[in-house]
Amino acid sequence: MFSKDVKLKAINDLNAGIKVKQVMDKYGIKGTATLYQWKYAHDKFGDDGLIPFRNGRTIHDYSFKIKVIRWRIDNIKSYPDAAKHFDITAPATVWYWENDLLSGRLKPKFGRSDTNMSKEDQAKKLKDLEEENKHLKVKVAYLEKLKALTQKNKKSQTNKRPK
């Protein structure tokens, strides 16, 4: 784990024109992605973007999570690309949301059902059901693409003949 000061020094060296490989060697950074993620976080959020765990957590609603996952799948983008596109500091967050969606843990928050629902409550329930419908459509699309990829890989492996 690198301190905020080390991250700032590495970013400043990078901005000063020092080559990426030299900066990595100087500070013991193993991958370029780490360095570029720091730079992006610093450019986007300032010095606070370099703090490993900020006080408090951002809570994203269900529809936002579905929107991020749908965008990533539809545009065939990586987790870091999706995180950058939606200003999410940690790309792993998108990965967790997607895994939660596939395992069935990512669900819209429903309140207690009431038999005497007002029109406002009915509208909210309808909206929640529409969100769940979107959730299921995204899940089906993801699974269909996954199935197509596995079939493609399987087919390419069976077409290869040993010499």
Q: How confident is the model at residue 116 (pLDDT cuts 50, 70, 90)?
A: low
% pLDDT > 90, the chain: 30
Boundaries of domain holding 22: 4-50
Q: Nearest Cα to 128, choosing from 145, 106, 107, 152?
A: 107
What average pLDDT does the segment 131-158 reach? Answer: 87
Q: Tell me the per-residue pLDDT of 27-50, one tens digit each, with 9 for 90 and over.
A: 999 888 888 888 888 887 788 777
pLDDT of residue 70: 93
Is residue 8 included in any domain, yes or no?
A: yes
Residue 78, sorted as left (phi over 0), alpha (psi -120 to 50) or beta, turns out to be: beta
For the residues of 96-154, what is the DSSP string, one character each? HHHHHHHHT----------SS--HHHHHHHHHHHHHHHHHHHHHHHHHHHHHHHHHHHH
Residues 14 and 74 in one domain: no
DSSP 8-state secondary structure symbol assigned to residue 46: G
pLDDT of residue 73: 92
Residues 38 and 69 in one domain: no
**How far apart are the C-alpha atoms of 56 and 89, rounded to whole Å?**
14
Residues 84 and 150 in one domain: yes
**How far apart are the C-alpha atoms of 49 and 39, rounded to whole Å?**
9
Q: Tell me the per-residue pLDDT of 2-29, one tens digit each, with 9 for 90 and over.
A: 888 899 999 999 999 999 999 999 999 9
Residues 145 and 74 in one domain: yes
Residues 87 and 154 in one domain: yes
Residues 79 and 130 in one domain: yes
Residues 11 and 91 in one domain: no
**How far apart are the C-alpha atoms of 43 and 7, rounded to whole Å?**
12
**How far apart are the C-alpha atoms of 19 and 54, rounded to whole Å?**
30
**How far apart are the C-alpha atoms of 82 and 78, rounded to whole Å?**
6
Find the helix or strand (DSSP H, E) in which 110 lies: none
Q: Is 25 exposed, middle or buried (0-12, 13-18, 19+ CB in 10 A)?
A: exposed
Cβ-contact 80, 65 below 8 angstroms:
no
